[in-house]
Amino acid sequence: MIPPRKPFRQACNQCGWKSPIIQNSDCIIGYYECCPKCGGKLEFKDLNKFEVAIQYLKQAL
């Protein structure tokens, strides 16, 4: 089995849209090829530990 990728964030440089992605398996769900708001190119960056903790808390609530 392929291990899940580290948590990352998709962000658009043009309009500022962003979306964190935290995988629980080797299947990526919620991934966009281009910005859903403006159609711009997305940049991918790893989340830091604080951002990961916030996302887990949001999912729990």
As averages over each run of 10 residues, the pLDDT of the chain (61 residues) reads: 79 92 73 90 91 85 76
Is the distance from CB of 43 to CB of 28 less than 8 angstroms?
Answer: no
HEC readout, 24-52:
CCCCCCCCCCECCCCCCEEEEEECCHHHH
* pLDDT given at position 59: 79
Tell whether pTM > 0.75.
no
Is the CB of residue 38 less than 8 Å from the CB of residue 12? yes
